[in-house]
Amino acid sequence: MAHACLRRCARPSNNRGVTTADLPRRIAHLDMDAFFASVELLRYPQLQGLPVVIGGRRHTPEDEAQLIAQWGGLENIPLEAFDRLGSYVGRGVITTATYPARKFGLGSAMGMMKAARLCPQAILLPIDFARYRSYSRQFKAVIVSIAPVMEDRGVDEVYIDFTHVPGGQEQGGRVLAARIQQAIQSATGLSCSVGVAPNKLLAKMASEFQKPQGISVVYAEDLQALIWPLPCRKINGIGPKAGAKMQALGIETIADLAARSLPWLVQHFGKSYGAWLHAAAHGQDERPVVTESEPVSMSRETTFVHDLHAVQHKAELGAVFTRLCERVAEDLQRKGYAGRTIGIKLRYANFKSVTREITVEQFTQEAVTIRQIAGQCLRRVPLEQPLRLLGVRVGGLVVWDAAQQQPRSAEKVAIKRHMQSRDLLTLPLF
């Protein structure tokens, strides 16, 4: 809506009769550079230039207080006092890694035991999500003070509509991107990379071109030279399975994908996905920058240090399961949502994952109800194998009026239409 309003309310920008509505669309994707690791390097400046990974256990204020008492300040901790990745034993995964660590092949979501074999000398730091969220709020506040049409895409990345912002058209958006980069650096001490293009799809790809601390500008006429030579997986939305299928069909690059006709793509990938692939390969993306959006689900999951069996570790699994339901309920209540689709996620010791969900008639944000319905989902999956991961999810969210125990008025009509349009599985809540 904000984007549309800007276009409708535009005024002439010069005496030649050109209005701001005629300006070419310039969309930026801003991605913080190795965000979690960079935040930690502000705390431990002595680790600059070294391979560092974030993962494993959580940081606690008590840990920090003890280190400060021991060394007189975090910046005074000698390198030999830090934990090393080579000594790690467990099932954790890397949350992020510094660029020196990435040169050894380390990266996000890699198992830490595998990473330890690649770079045992890497320094291992605990995770401090509260600190990362704080810095996330800081850098986003800087952005909206300069370019207010911003879409939040997570803790470390955003889309920004440059089209009507001063400097947003200069050098294709490079002038404004540099201004935002410098402002974030001054306010937080952190660096970011920015891609500016005619749409979100190309902007996200461009933001990866010159990391870290780069600015890349792509115009519509650059599609053949800059985009088509890239592997298909560089398109956000083409995952491992689709990528593997494309390779089997002889499609390696985006140029190969663009050469396939729309009917051919629909035949091999389905009507919706095939049409999207055709548009994406030709650099087409009309999605607006959305300044406000509602979450579609909330979830909590945990990976066990050791595999747990449903029979041998029944009490322990039950306690973890209940706590996950409680935490999802706490998230819903704190953020003012309720949901009616409750599901679970399991990952077995062999890494195979399964999910199950049930949609009920009444919305809920209560832990007891979530636990009961999630338990029914759990009874629908085989539990003979040991479990590696367990998760609980609540979807179909609406903004919830806790006092009235009903969705807020703006959602009522949409909910009624939704319920009339599909057959619902109705289950007793208690």
SS (H, E, C) the chain: CHHHHHHHCCCECCCCCCEHHHCCCCEEEEEECCHHHHHHHHHCHHHCCCCEEEEEEECCHHHHHHHHHHHCCHHHCCHHHCCEHHHCCCCCEEEEECHHHHCCCCCCCCEHHHHHHHCCCCEEEEECHHHHHHHHHHHHHHHHHHCCCEEECCCCEEEEECCCCCCCCHHHHHHHHHHHHHHHHHHHCCCEEEEEECCHHHHHHHCCCCCCCCEEECCHHHHHHHHCCCEHHHCCCCCHHHHHHHHHCCCCEHHHHHHCCHHHHHHHHCHHHHHHHHHHHCCCCCCCCCCCCCCCEEEEEEEEEEEECCCCCHHHHHHHHHHHHHHHHHHHHHHCEEEEEEEEEEEECCCCEEEEEEEEEEEECCHHHHHHHHHHHHCCCCCCCCEEEEEEEEECCEEEECCCCEECHHHHHHHHHHHHCCCCCCCCCC
Q: Is 392:400 a contact under the CB 8 Å cutoff?
A: no
Annotated active-site residue in 40, 151, 157, 411: 157
Judge whether 357 counts as a catalytic residue: no
Report, as residue numbers or ranges, the catalytic residues: 157
